[in-house]
Amino acid sequence: MRNIKLVLQYDGTNFCGYELQPGKRSVRGEIEKALHKLFKIKTRIIGVSRTDSGVHAIAQVVNFKTTNQIPTKRIPAALNSCLKDDIRILGAEEKGKEFNSRYAAKSKEYEYLIFNGAIIPPSVRRVAWHIKYKLDLAAMKEAAKILVGKHDFSSFCASRSDDKNFVKRIYKLSIKKRKLAVFSGEKIDLVSVRVKGDGFLYKMVRNMVGTLMEVGLGNKITSDIKNILYGRNRRLAGRTAPSHGLCLIKVHY
């Protein structure tokens, strides 16, 4: 039995998310259908992150087991021929039989993009949250420092979560301006919120971004973040940032 690791990238716009949902198009569903078409047998994949509806990924990692002897280097092209163009297999690697993409991961990194200005360019509307009013990035950076470290993040976990352990460690949470190159080399100014942690609760990153945005708009102050964190109550935190601004960018093993 072979254990194959895949690295994939997708535009989450037209997916209900990573996980299977009856009657809806999911990332897992599309990959498993492609594997069935390729191998002629039902194959289950395990993913490192169950991204929400609309969330993107440039480095999602999954693994599956198979007895098929197709050369590993041919798997990406073979699967891509069975997939629509909003999802691509970037690479394949044969791993040891015990490898599990979810449980072997040491940390994950996400990036959230915000366009802060009056009129959002159409070229970034599917990957960035549009905030019209000027954000105080210095205040957001100070507030973000409070969230770094090992904490109970109950206040940033959405309802309907099946999480049992709300303690997670955030290794890095940076907020900075960055430029995104689009058509004809045009570069658009965006605000990047990048977070690296050992694990994340349901909608945790989006709830953190939504709360930090409230600080940036002056609706909350830095000290409020500490009260929210230690209050362990989702109602204390800010809004949930829209899904389309979020992207899984790296998994560390």
- d(Cα 153, Cα 222) in Å, to the nearest integer? 17
pLDDT in tens, 154-183: 999 988 777 789 999 999 999 999 988 877
Per residue in 22-61, is it b (16+ CB within 10 Å) or e — as a string?
eeeebbbbbbbebbeebeeeebebbbbbebbbbbbbbbbb
Q: What is the pTM of this model?
A: 0.95
pLDDT in tens, 80-94: 999 999 999 999 999
Query: What is the model's pLDDT at position 159?
Result: 82
Query: What is the model's pLDDT at position 185?
Result: 74
Mean pLDDT confidence for 42-53: 96
- Find how far residue 181's CA is from the centre of its chain: 21
Task: Give every CB contact of residue 158 below 8 A, 6+ residues apart in sequence.
Answer: 201, 202, 203, 204, 207, 234, 240
pLDDT at 114 over 80: yes
Query: What is the model's pLDDT at position 182?
Result: 79
Query: What is the model's pLDDT at position 162?
Result: 79
Give the ranges where the chain is alpha helix by DSSP (H): 27-39, 75-80, 137-147, 204-216, 222-231
Active-site annotation, residues:
52
pLDDT in tens, 115-148: 999 999 999 999 999 999 999 999 999 999 999 9
